[in-house]
Amino acid sequence: MCGIAGYIQLQGETNPDRGLVARMVASIRHRGPDEFGMYIDQRCALGHARLSIIDLAGGSQPLTNENNTLWITYNGEVYNYLELREELIKAGHKFKTNSDTEVILHAFEQWDIDCLEKFNGQFAFAIYNSENGRLFMARDRVGIRPLFWTVHNHRLYFGSEIKALFCEPSIPRTIDCKGLDETFTWWTSAAPCTLFENINELEAGCWINLQDGNIKHGRYWSMSFPVEFDYNRSVDSYAEQLRELLIDSVRLRLRSDVPVGAYLSGGLDSAVTTALVCHHSQSRLETFSVTFDDNAFDESSFQNQMVRHLGTSHHTVQADFGNIAESFYDVIRYTERPIVRTAPTPLYLLSGLVRQNDFKVVLTGEGSDEILGGYDLFKETLIRRFWARQPESKWRPSILKRLYPTLPVSGARAYLFMEQFYKTGLTDYDQYHYSHIPRINTVSQIKTLFAKDVRDRIKEHDAIGAYGRDLPDDFFDWHHLSRAQWLEMRSLLAGYLLSSQGDRVSAANSIEGRFPFLDHRLIEFASTIPPGYKIRGLNEKYVLKRAMKDNIPASIVNRVKQPYMAPDSNCFVQKNSPEYVGEMFSEEMVSKAGLLSQKPLDRLVKKCHRLSDTHLSFRDNMAFVGALSTQLLWYQFIENFQMPEPIKTDQFSVLVDRSV
């Protein structure tokens, strides 16, 4: 985990701006506080904030090749770097460090753009050729590591976080209403769109190349599914291959010159990764969990079961209304986008706990639900698709009771409401977003709070179609579960779970998360597993449970899945809630921002105060958190943006100035 930033003149030369690069690096120093580096000439500047994990002594950046013509600034890890290094040495390359950074540089020399297909890892990097002025940037396959860019005044600026771009004072800072519209449709904006006008996010699995003033984009990887599946092969055969891939993925992700810990949520996925780490580690593993004082969210009993089972050295941090509300302000500064749940905040507190215990690296179970069919959304899709064959059936929708077994005790009225909710768009299965219609309908409630000016700006914008512009050619030939998985990975996983709930809240505390389930080999294999082996009846991730049944307690394998959530609006309507909440919702601030409408906002806030002792509906909670985070985003990045003090010259461990 590191931070990268810089700029390049589109054509010709420019006056070098060392102070700008020093500010850009300072704005992301939380990503890499161990070392700072800069390369600068009359066309290009590269900045780096390093979190030292591989080759602690020799991996300083920006790094160059043998003849000082290629320079790289890089964030992330290429886990198969040792194997690639041997291949490159056989091809005649000579290395001066033991870092994976140098492997990327030589791989680019050897294979150019095709090097991306060789990498197994999570990364974002920029490589500059000082001889011909070429700048090449790329991002990992699923978007674990971020990269943003913009063109302004004949320069291309880039950075790991948007705040680095805003260190150039002349770059306008304006909320993009289209990004807002997409966020309150999908929980995220669809790259390249962001929440700021003219600020672009490089899509996962993509590259960008600039030379002679021309900017070209390309995609080198995307998730795909077969049209037909092999049901002649047994589920246990798939499970065994899945297990083997998981073991190798964990093995690679333990490569580090610093200790590696693990998150332990209490669910199946983190139990799998933790059990496999223990299997491969000679020393006692240290694990980290977040607990809640509200039993509706707390999973500590299951966490403790795994701790006892594996004998790990365990650390916990408790999240409550108070520290969630206090930390939420800072979380929005790191997410750089509105969020509709407070869930990233406890994970921000958790990464702080990891840092307090002198760890830099943790393994997590993220990605399992997406590739192996773990979410209720996938089961809802199967039920709705079955129901749609006979939409007037009275018993087919009753299967939803099995998905939500507590619902019948709420009475016939609650069941009728649920039936009508899931019946919306029931027969629209030719729509690419069919699987996500219920979720979209829930989160879109927030748009009723939009100010008239925002509604006017997005009137012609097709937010629902944001992910339908580049569908695979055979998308509509896929199984409906495969379509749902593809869309979930492109939207929620890349734009929210790996960003607001992943990279941003871990990087805020200088922590690198590693994701064994997101090894591209494992993703590609999982796409070939038949849907009926992923979800057996309504038993989610069935093939994973078969693969790991001998390594994890039956109580963990067989427990009813509990989605990770945190208290939402209740955190902000207590008597001792932070002052910023009332300030952000005041008439003065709402009017200044011009994004929300005061009257419906006031009604929502009053409702949340009135029902503060109960659990509000998902819609109301999302609307409250979405509105508050929108106001905070505007305040911190538009109204009151804090320009950082630049890194001082004597703090740069690498300072290469070729402009003189």
Whichever domain contains 248, its CATH number is 3.40.50.620
Picking from 128, 160, 157, the residue whose alpha carbon sits closest to that of residue 144 is: 160
Q: Identify whether residues 252 and 346 lie together within a single domain.
A: yes
Q: How confident is the model at residue 146 (pLDDT cuts 50, 70, 90)?
A: very high
- Asked whether residue 176 falls in the same domain as residue 277, the answer is no
Q: Are residues 145 and 61 in the same domain?
A: yes
- Residue at 272 is within a domain: yes
Q: Give pLDDT tens digits for 619-635.
A: 999 999 999 999 999 99
Q: Are 5 and 158 in contact (CB under 8 A)?
A: yes
Place of tokens 């996010």: 201
Please determine, for residue 409, whether its predicted confidence score (pLDDT) is greater than 50. no
Does residue 320 form part of some domain? yes
Residue 407 within any structural domain of the chain: no
d(CA 241, CA 558) in angstroms, rounded, equals 21
Contact 542, 275 (CB under 8 A): no
Run of H or E including 39: strand 35-40
Binning pLDDT at 50, 70 and 90, where does residue 333 land? very high
What is the average pLDDT score of the chain?
94
112: left (phi over 0), alpha (psi -120 to 50) or beta: left
Residue 460 lies inside a defined structural domain of this protein: no
Residue 471 exposed, middle or buried by CB count within 10 Å (0-12, 13-18, 19+): middle
Identity of the amino acid at 527:
S
What is the Cα–Cα distance from 537 to 330, expressed in whole angstroms? 42
Asked if residue 190 has pLDDT above 60, the reply is yes
Domain closes at, from 154, 188, 222: 222
As a whole number, mean pLDDT of residues 76-89 equals 98
Residue 412 has pLDDT above 60, yes or no: no
Look-up: residue for tokens 């508050």? 628
What is the average pLDDT across 174-179? Answer: 98
Looking at residue 284, its pLDDT comes to: 85
Q: Range with the lowest mean pLDDT among 283-292, 369-378, 408-417?
A: 408-417
3-class secondary structure, 40: strand
pLDDT at 249 over 70: yes
- Tell how strand 35-40 and strand 652-657 pair up: parallel
Residues of the chain with pLDDT > 90, as a percent, come to: 87
E strand map for 90-221:
121-129, 134-139, 148-152, 155-159, 200-201, 206-211, 214-219
Q: In CATH, what number is assigned to the domain containing residue 16?
A: 3.60.20.10
How far apart, in whole angstroms, are the C-alpha atoms of residue 582 and residue 606?
12
CA separation for the pair 138, 160 (Å, rounded): 12
Q: Identify whether residues 606 and 542 lie together within a single domain.
A: no
> Amino acid identity, residue 400?
L
pLDDT band for position 398 (cuts 50, 70, 90)? confident
The pLDDT of residue 560: 82
Together in a domain, 208 and 240: no
Q: Tell me: do 182 and 57 sit in the same domain.
A: yes
Q: Contact 5/164 with Cβ under 8 angstroms?
A: yes
Specify the amino acid at residue 358.
Answer: D
**Whether residue 72 is found in the same domain as residue 196:** yes
Residues 60 and 167 in one domain: yes
**Residues β-bridged to residue 74:** 125
Do residues 2 and 74 lie in contact, with contact meaning Cβ atoms separated by under 8 Å? yes
Domain that holds residue 244: 235-371+486-557
* Cβ-based burial of 15 (10 A; exposed 0-12, middle 13-18, buried ≥19): exposed
561: confidence class by pLDDT, cuts 50, 70, 90: confident
**Both 363 and 256 in a single domain?**
yes
Whose tokens are 């998730």? That residue is 223
Question: What does the pLDDT look like over 1-30, one tens digit per residue?
Answer: 799 999 999 988 888 999 999 999 999 999
* Matching residue, tokens 């030589």: 106
For residues 47 and 127, state if they share a domain.
yes
Q: What average pLDDT score do residues 468-497 get?
A: 96
HEC string for 616-640:
CCHHHHHHHHHHHHHHHHHHHHHHC
Average pLDDT over residues 486-497: 97
Tokens of 135: 């700048």
Neighbours of 119 (CB within 10 A): 25
- What is the helix (H) or strand (E) element at residue 363, kind and residue range? strand 361-363
Does residue 410 surpass a pLDDT of 60?
no
548 contacts: CB under 8 Å, gap ≥ 6: 243, 268, 271, 272, 275, 557
Cα separation, 165 vs 23, in Å, equals 10
When divided into structural domains, the chain yields a total of 3
Question: Per the domain annotation, does 625 fall within a domain?
Answer: yes
Same domain, 313 and 242: yes
Average pLDDT over residues 135-140: 98
- Answer yes or no: do 216 and 243 share one domain: no
The lowest-confidence range among 74-78, 207-211, 415-419 is 415-419
Question: Does 206 map to a domain?
Answer: yes
